[in-house]
Structure 1
Amino acid sequence: MLPSVLTPGSACSGSGRAAVGHVLTPLVPTVPSRAPLCPHLLQPNVVPQIVSQQTTCRMITHCATPRANAASSVAKLVHQNSKPMKIIIAGAGIGGLVLAVALLKQGFEVQVFERDLTAIRGEGKYRGPIQVQSNALAALEAIDPEVAGEVLREGCITGDRINGLCDGLTGEWYIKFDTFHPAVSKGLPVTRVISRVTLQHVLARAVERYGGSDIIQNGCCVTKFEERPTASGGSEVVVHLEDGRQVTGDLLIGADGIWSRIRKQLIGETKANYSGYTCYTGISDFTPADIDIVGYRVFLGNGQYFVSSDVGNGKMQWYGFHKEPAGGTDPVGTRKARLLEIFGHWNDNVVDLIKATPEEDVLRRDIYDRPPIFTWAKGKVALLGDSAHAMQPNLGQGGCMAIEDAYELAIDLSKAVAAAGGNAAAVNVDGVLNQYQANRMMRVSAIHGMAGMAAFMASTYKCYLGEGWSKWVESFRIPHPGRVIGRLVMLLTMPAVLDWVLGGNTDHVAPNRVPYCSLGDKPKAFDESRFGEFMSNDASIVYSSHADWILVSERTASGAAAAAGGDVNSFCECKGIYMATQQALVGRSGSPAEPALSVDDVHVHDRHAHVWREASGNGNGDGSSSGGSDYFLQDLGTGRGTWVNGQRIQDGAKVQLWPGDTVEFGRHPSHEVFKVKMQHVTLRSDELQGSRYSTLLVGKIQEPKADAQERSGAMAGGLGGGKLVAA
C-alpha cells in the first residue's frame, strides 16, 4: 500500500514518471507528460527507499532524498566531428528498431533494411502480443523516455497481479510468482504485454521522427556482406541486397531473427534446435473469473502445457504446447478440434479459452531455438537478438533480451565515439563489438538456459504418482515426488531468480534513467497490501474474485444447433443456475414442485436438494459475486442419493462446494453431471436456464467479420463488443 505522499490528490499524484537527463538525449524536444510529477523525482539521483512489510513482499513507500555518491545522468549528445559513423541494420524487428532509435539519437547515420514491413503496418494476419518485462522497459526508458512512455501507456499491465504455475487437470495453484515487488523495489516499471504491431508502430514512428522517412527500407533483404579496405587505410562493410544493390557502411548489425543470413555467413551453418514441441496459439474474447487478481498462468502437464495471459481490452492470449515431431499439420478447420482432444480434459480455465477462440484465429508453429554461441561479432559485423541467441518463449524474455542488447550496443558505440573526441574514423570497432559481446554473453546465456529448463519442467510435470504408467496407482492421488520436490526448490529459489531476471540489468541502465514509483503501476482491483495474502492463500483469490458461481451441466453442442455460428467447437449446450442467497431447489424434470434446476432422471426426487450461498467474512464482501460468500449444497434426505466428486454424501447432509466440484443427483454415475464453475460477472446471462439446455457461445458473441476486418491488426473488442453469454 502506497502511503499518503503518493496517493491521488497529494503533491505527488500522477504518473510519477520523470523526464530527466539521459545519455541518449533526443535530437528533438520530448513531449512533456500531462500528469503532474513529484518535484523530487526530477532530480537525477533519486532512489526509492524500501521498507519491510508484515508480508514477505517489499514495497516502495516514498522516494528518498538524492544520494551524494550516486552517478549523475549525462544529458549530452555524442557529437561526431566529421563524417558520422554509418550503421547498417539488417531486420526491422523489435531489437533492430530499438537499436536504430538509440543510435539516431546519438548522431549516428543509420539505415535499416527489412524484407517485409507488413508486420509493422499491421497487414495480413494479426500478430499476437509480446511481453515486455521490467528489465526491458527500464532499458527503453534509458534510451528514450518518450518511446518508453508510449509503450507503458499502450501496454496491459500483468505484473500488478498474481502470476504463476497451476496444475493443468485441476487448475490448482502449484506456485505463484510476484513480479510486482521485484520491479518496484528497484524503481522499475511493472511488466506489460503489448501488441507486437503496436510496439513496432511506436518504434518505427520514433525512427522516422529522429532520422526521416527513408531510414527503414522495405522489400530489402540482406543476402550477404563483405569487408573491403578503404582509400584512407581503414575498412568498410559492403552489404548485398536481394535486388542487386550494394550499400556500404562502417558497421553491420544482424538483427534478422532466428533464421539470420548474417549469422550464417558470420559463424557458418548451424542447425536450429527443435524444442520437441509444436505450439498452438490464439486470442480469445473471454474474461476469466479471477482476471482482476491473476495476470497470467502456466498450466502444467506431462508432455503438454498451456499458457494464458491477459492482454487487455477484454482479450486473453493463450499458447498450447504439445510434444510431437516437427512438421505436423492440421486439415483446414480442425485445429480447435485437435486442441480439445489434447486439452479437453483439463480445467475450465484452459478449455473455455480454446472454445472462445474462433477457428480461423488459431495458429500453429513449431518451436525452435539455437544453442548459445560464443562468437557474436567478427570484424565490423555483429549479431543482436534472436540472430545471436534465439530462445524458447517460456520466460517471455526473448524480445526483452533483444532490447537489452540494443541498449548495450548503443551505449558501447556512443562511449567509443565520445572517447575518440567525436572522430568516428578513430574508433576501434572490433574492440567495441568484442566489449558488447563480453558484456551481454553471460546474462543472455543464463536466461537462455532458464528458458529451456522452464520448458522441460512445464512439460514433465506429473501431479500424482503412477501418472503415465499405472492408472490404478494414480487413482490413490498420491502426490508425485517430483512435484513435491520441484515445488520446494522453486519456493526457495524463485524469488532470487525473478529478482535477477527482472532487476539484474538495473545497475547497467542506472546512469541513464532515474528509479521512480508510478501510481499507474499499482494493482487496480485490490489493495496492494493484500498481495502477500493472495500469494500465500489460494482461497483468498477465489473469494475475492468478481465472479458468479454457477451449477451447470455442459455437453457438446450438436452440429445443427451451432450451424449458424459456423464453429461447433465455440458453442456449448448448457443447463444450470446462478447460485444466490435464496435457496434453489433441485428436483426431477416435470416435478410439480417446479425446481429451479431440473434433472432429467427418474431416480431424482421431486424435491431432491437445495443449493445457495451465504455471506461470510472472506473476500471483498460485495454480495453480488463470490466475494464474501460460501456456497453450499444440502441433500433433502430423500434417500435417493447425492454425490459430490464421486462420493456419496449422507442423506440430509450439508456440504460446502468449491469451484471444479462435480455433483450428481439420484445415481452415480449419472448421465447428467453438474459442475461448480466460477464465471466473471461481466459474462452473466439470462440465457442460462435451469429447466432446459440452451446452446450458448462460449465467452461472447463475436462481432461481424466486416467490423473485425476494419480493426485488423489492432487490439480491439473488449467487453462492450458483443452480447455476453455463459460458458
Structure 2
Amino acid sequence: MSKISVAIAGAGISGLCLAHSLLRAGFDVQIYERDPAPHARRQGYRITLDEHGIAGLQRCLPPHLFQLFLATTSPTAEIGYMRITNQNLGEVFRFAFQGDPSGTDLRTPRQADRQTLRTIMLEGLRDRVHYGKAAVRAETTSDGATLHFSDGSRVHASLVVGADGVNSALRQSFLPDCEPEDTDRWAIYGRTLLFQNGRSIVPRPLKTSGVFAIGPSSRGFFFTTMNFRESPQTAFPRFGMDQIPPITDDYVMWALLLPKEQFPEPQGKPRSEMLQQLALKAAQDFHPVLRRFVEQSDLDYTMAVTIKAAKKPAAWPVSRLAFMGDAVHVMPPTGSHGGNTALRDAALLAEKLKTAAIEGTPLEKAVASYQEEMSKYAFREVEASKTMLKRFTIKNPLMNWVMLRAIPRIRSWSNKSLTAE
C-alpha cells in the first residue's frame, strides 16, 4: 500500500479523517490546505455528531484520538431536545433524544466543538499537512492525477481527493454542471460564553436543547450550548497531545438565518463589527434571551455564510479523482447532517481504497463504487435539509397564525415556561 500515494486537497474534518485511516493502512498520504496556518480562520463552531459521524471517526482515527474526541464532547447523561418555537420562545413542538448516562452508547448524538475536533485530528499529521497550498485544478491520467496549486507548483499522486469545501475549485473544473444552488438565505454565526458573571445565560429548561425560533419576515434564530464533558485543557495533556486546545470554555453557539434581501450585499469580506450590528438589528423582534446572546457575543467569532445546496451530478466521471463533504454535497445546516455525511464519506472512501489495494483492483473501480454508495445517502440528506429549511419559512397567513400563535398558547397552558430559572 505504501506505493499508493494519495493527495488530499483540504485539511477540514473529512480530509483529516480520511488521511488517518489511509496512513494507518500504509498508504502514502499528503494533505494540502489553502489556509496559511492551522487556525488562520474560523471553520465553524459546535457540530452535532450522530451515529454515522461518530462511526466514521471510530473507523478512521487511532484509538487514543477517538477516545480524546469522546472525552471532549458534550455530556450525554440527560435527555436532549430539539425544540421549534415562535420568536418569543413559545414552543410549537419538540423532538426528544434519549440520554446515555454511561456515555458509551455511540448511537447517542452528542455535541463537539469543530475547532477542538480538528485540532485532535491534526495530531500525528502535522508533517503531512502543507499550508498555503490552494488547489486550482487536477489533471487525471491512467496512472494517477496531478494536483495544481495557485502558486504554480504541482504534485502527482495515484489518487487526488477533493475535500476543499463548498467553493471547491476542483469540482468547478471537473463537475462544471454541479455548482451548488443559492437558497437565497444567509446565516450570521456567533459564539457567546455560556457563563457570564458566574451564571449561565441559558435558562435551565433549555440547557440540553437545540432551539430554532421562527421569527417575522422569514427570519430564524438557532442556538444550542457547547458543554465539554471534560475541559480540553485537561483532556489534551492527559492523552499526550502536544498541541494547545483552541477552545477551553463552554459557550452558546447561535445563528441568525436571513433572507438574502435582508442581508446587504457585502463589499469584500464583511467585518465582524458590521455583522454583529446586522445581527442585533435582525434579532430585535426575538425574545430577550435570544437578543442577549448576540449582545454579549465574542465579536471576533462572528461570521457570515451563504446557505447553499448541492446539485447531484447527472453522471459521475470515473477517474483518479474523488470528492468528499461540502465539495460535492453541501447542504443547508437544517438537520445537522453536513459534517456527519462528510465523515461518513471519509470512512467509506477509505474502506473502498483499502479493499482495492488488498485485492489488486483498479483505483478507478474503488472510486466508482464509493461514488455510487455516497450519492445515495448524501443527496438524500441534501434534499431533506432543503425541505426542512423551507418548512421554517411559513408564508401562509393562516398557517403562520396556527403555528406561531395558537399552538404555543395552547402548549403554554400545560407546559412550564422555557425561560424559567
For residue 154 of structure 1, the aligned residue among 44, 53, 72 is 72
Matched to 1:385, the amino acid is G
- Is the partner of 2:286 in helix, strand or coil? coil
The separation in 1 between residues aligned to 2:404 and 2:116, in whole angstroms, is 44
Give the deviation of 1:339 after TM superposition: 2.9
Check 1:181–1:373 CA distance in 2 against 1; reply closer, same or farther (3 A cut): farther
- Is the partner of 2:192 in helix, strand or coil? strand
Give the deviation of 1:412 after TM superposition: 0.9
- Is the partner of 2:151 in helix, strand or coil? coil
Residue by residue over 1:485-518, the C-alpha shift from the partner in whole angstroms, topping out at 9 and shown as x without a partner, is: xx9xxxxxxxxxxxxxxxxxxxxxxxxxxxxxxx
Give the deviation of 1:419 after TM superposition: 2.0
Aligned residues of 1:183 and 1:189 also touching (Cα < 8 A): no
Residue by residue over 1:540-592, the C-alpha shift from the partner in whole angstroms, topping out at 9 and shown as x without a partner, is: 974xxxxxxxxxxxxxxxxxxxxxxxxxxxxxxxxxxxxxxxxxxxxxxxxxx
Residue 402 of structure 2 aligns with which residue? 479
Give the deviation of 1:117 after TM superposition: 4.7
Check 1:127–1:186 CA distance in 2 against 1; reply closer, same or farther (3 A cut): closer
Residue by residue over 1:578-616, the C-alpha shift from the partner in whole angstroms, topping out at 9 and shown as x without a partner, is: xxxxxxxxxxxxxxxxxxxxxxxxxxxxxxxxxxxxxxx
Residue 14 of structure 1 aligns with which residue? none
1:108 paired to 2:27: yes
- Is the partner of 2:382 in helix, strand or coil? helix
Choose between structure 1 and 2 for higher RCO, CA contacts under 8 A separated by at least 6 residues: 2
Residue 214 of structure 2 aligns with which residue? 300
Alignment of 1:461-480 (within 5 A): 465=398, 479=402
Residue 258 of structure 1 aligns with which residue? 166
Aligned residues of 1:220 and 1:241 also touching (Cα < 8 A): yes
Note the residue ranges of structure 1 that are not aligned, 5 or more in a row.
1-79, 230-234, 421-426, 468-477, 488-536, 543-657, 660-676, 680-727
Aligned residues of 2:85 and 2:213 also touching (Cα < 8 A): yes
1:318 paired to 2:254: yes
Give the deviation of 1:93 after TM superposition: 0.9
1:249 paired to 2:185: no
Give the deviation of 1:253 after TM superposition: 0.8
Check 1:92–1:117 CA distance in 2 against 1; reply closer, same or farther (3 A cut): farther
1:137 paired to 2:54: yes
1:288 paired to 2:224: no
Note the residue ranges of structure 2 that are not aligned, 5 or more in a row.
195-200, 228-248
Residue 387 of structure 2 aligns with which residue? 453
Give the deviation of 1:192 after TM superposition: 2.7
Give the deviation of 1:201 after TM superposition: 1.1
- Specify the structure having the higher radius of gyration (Cα): 1
Alignment of 1:537-552 (within 5 A): 542=416
1:96 paired to 2:15: yes
The separation in 1 between residues aligned to 2:26 and 2:388, in whole angstroms, is 41
Aligned residues of 2:6 and 2:161 also touching (Cα < 8 A): yes
Residue 367 of structure 2 aligns with which residue? 433
Give the TM-score normalised by the residue count of structure 2.
0.81
Matched to 2:348, the amino acid is E
Aligned residues of 2:178 and 2:311 also touching (Cα < 8 A): no
Matched to 2:338, the amino acid is G
Give the deviation of 1:317 after TM superposition: 0.6
Give the deviation of 1:480 after TM superposition: 5.1
Give the TM-score normalised by the residue count of structure 1.
0.49
Check 1:414–1:182 CA distance in 2 against 1; reply closer, same or farther (3 A cut): farther
- Is the partner of 1:395 in helix, strand or coil? coil
Check 1:434–1:149 CA distance in 2 against 1; reply closer, same or farther (3 A cut): same
- Is the partner of 2:120 in helix, strand or coil? helix
The separation in 2 between residues aligned to 1:191 and 1:103, in whole angstroms, is 26
CA-atom RMSD in angstroms: 3.3
Aligned residues of 1:89 and 1:111 also touching (Cα < 8 A): yes
The separation in 2 between residues aligned to 1:224 and 1:366, in whole angstroms, is 24
The separation in 2 between residues aligned to 1:444 and 1:334, in whole angstroms, is 35
The separation in 1 between residues aligned to 2:319 and 2:406, in whole angstroms, is 49
1:171 paired to 2:79: no
Residue by residue over 1:225-252, the C-alpha shift from the partner in whole angstroms, topping out at 9 and shown as x without a partner, is: 22345xxxxx222222223223211111
Aligned residues of 2:189 and 2:304 also touching (Cα < 8 A): yes
- Is the partner of 1:147 in helix, strand or coil? helix
- Is the partner of 1:288 in helix, strand or coil? coil
Residue 131 of structure 2 aligns with which residue? 218
The separation in 2 between residues aligned to 1:375 and 1:150, in whole angstroms, is 40
Check 1:347–1:139 CA distance in 2 against 1; reply closer, same or farther (3 A cut): same
The separation in 1 between residues aligned to 2:303 and 2:103, in whole angstroms, is 38
Seq. identity, %: 18
1:198 paired to 2:116: yes
Give the deviation of 1:96 after TM superposition: 0.6
Aligned residues of 1:373 and 1:388 also touching (Cα < 8 A): no
Give the deviation of 1:416 after TM superposition: 1.7
Matched to 1:395, the amino acid is G
Residue by residue over 1:91-123, the C-alpha shift from the partner in whole angstroms, topping out at 9 and shown as x without a partner, is: 1111111000011111111111111153x3x34
The separation in 1 between residues aligned to 2:43 and 2:399, in whole angstroms, is 42
The separation in 2 between residues aligned to 1:360 and 1:207, in whole angstroms, is 28
Give the deviation of 1:401 after TM superposition: 0.7
Residue 714 of structure 1 aligns with which residue? none
Check 1:157–1:441 CA distance in 2 against 1; reply closer, same or farther (3 A cut): farther
Residue by residue over 1:7-32, the C-alpha shift from the partner in whole angstroms, topping out at 9 and shown as x without a partner, is: xxxxxxxxxxxxxxxxxxxxxxxxxx
Give the deviation of 1:396 after TM superposition: 1.4
1:400 paired to 2:318: no
The separation in 2 between residues aligned to 1:251 and 1:403, in whole angstroms, is 19
Matched to 2:345, the amino acid is D
